[in-house]
């Protein structure tokens, strides 16, 4: 079962990177997981579009204050931060 969970989280990462790549108009292979969204050319409006795509793709609801870690939200400033947030949201949905 552990391998299945790893496959699922790898799939989440791949899907999130695809969403970010579409928004940044880049090849997914060129998306560095440690990159800041800003360096990819993704601004606040782009982040809103990414959130809509995440909600649709993963059937989750991203909270209004999702980009406010200090208020219990997530760090949506980096690729890895977005991946971690989606993993948490998908995990909470399954709980």
| pLDDT computed for residue 17 by the predictor | 97
Q: What are the chain's domains?
A: 2-94 (1.10.1200.10)
pLDDT at 31: 95
Question: What does the block give as tokens for 38?
Answer: 């800003």
pLDDT for residue 18: 97
Can you say how many angstroms the Cα of residue 46 is from the centroid of all Cα atoms in its chain?
12
- The dihedral formed by the CA atoms of 32, 33, 39 and 45, expressed in degrees to the nearest 10: 130
How far is C-alpha 36 from the geometric centre of its chain's CA atoms? 12
With CA atoms as reference, report the closest residue to 18 among 83, 77, 93.
83
Distance CA 73, CA 32 (A): 23
| Per-position pLDDT tens, the chain of length 95 | 444 444 555 899 999 999 999 999 999 999 999 999 999 999 999 999 999 999 999 999 988 777 666 667 788 999 999 999 999 999 987 76
pLDDT value, residue 1: 42
Q: What is the pTM of this model?
A: 0.84
């Amino acid at each position: 079962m552990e391998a299945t969970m790893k496959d699922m989280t790898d799939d989440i990462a791949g899907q999130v990177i695809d969403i970010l790549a579409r928004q940044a108009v880049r090849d997914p292979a060129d998306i560095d997981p440690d990159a800041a969204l800003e360096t990819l050319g993704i601004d606040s409006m782009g982040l809103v579009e990414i959130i809509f795509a995440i909600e649709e793709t993963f059937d989750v609801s991203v909270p209004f204050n999702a980009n406010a870690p200090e208020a219990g939200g997530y760090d949506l400033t980096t690729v890895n931060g977005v991946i971690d947030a989606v993993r948490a949201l998908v995990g909470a949905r399954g709980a």
